[in-house]
C-alpha cells in the first residue's frame, strides 16, 4: 500500500533542497496536474504542485516551517498562516514525475 494517494518524486535538485524533510524522495500533493504560480522569492511564473499539507507528519510540517522561516526571516506562525491560507507550492523543476493511486485521476 502506498504512503500517499497522490505524490511527486523529487529529482536531484529537489532532494538537495527538501531531502532532509522528505527522506524517501516522495512529497504528497493535492493533484497530479501542476499549475502556474508567481512565487514571491523568485518573482516569475513557475509551474507548481500544491503539497497536501494534511498528509504530512507533524515532523515534516515543522521541518518545512523551520526551513522557510530560516530562508525568509519570518516566524513559523506567520508562514503557517500563509500555508493554510493559500497552500504550499512545490516547484515542478524539483520533481521528476508524479503518481497517484486514485482511480480515474488519469482519465
The pLDDT assigned to 78 comes to: 96
Q: How far apart are CA 82 and CA 67, in angstroms?
A: 15
Q: How confident is the model at residue 104 (pLDDT cuts 50, 70, 90)?
A: low
Query: What's the whole-model pTM score?
Result: 0.87
Q: Tell me the pLDDT tens digit for each residue of 18-77.
A: 999 999 999 999 999 999 998 877 778 999 999 999 999 999 999 999 999 999 999 999
The pLDDT assigned to 1 comes to: 47
The pLDDT assigned to 2 comes to: 57
Please list, in sequence order, all residues whose beta carbon lies within 8 angstroms of the beta carbon of residue 27, skipping any fewer than 6 positions away: 7, 8, 10, 18, 49, 51, 90, 95
Amino acid at each position: 500500500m502506498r504512503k500517499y494517494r497522490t505524490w511527486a518524486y523529487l529529482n536531484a535538485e529537489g532532494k538537495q533542497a527538501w531531502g532532509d524533510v522528505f527522506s524517501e524522495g516522495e512529497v504528497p500533493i493535492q493533484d497530479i496536474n501542476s499549475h502556474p504560480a508567481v512565487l514571491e522569492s523568485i518573482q516569475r511564473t513557475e509551474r507548481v504542485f500544491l503539497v497536501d499539507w494534511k498528509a504530512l507528519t507533524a515532523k515534516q510540517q515543522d521541518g518545512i516551517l523551520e526551513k522557510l522561516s530560516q530562508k525568509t526571516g519570518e516566524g513559523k506562525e506567520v508562514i503557517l498562516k500563509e500555508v493554510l491560507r493559500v497552500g504550499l507550492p512545490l516547484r515542478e523543476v524539483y520533481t521528476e514525475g508524479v503518481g497517484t493511486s486514485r482511480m480515474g485521476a488519469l482519465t
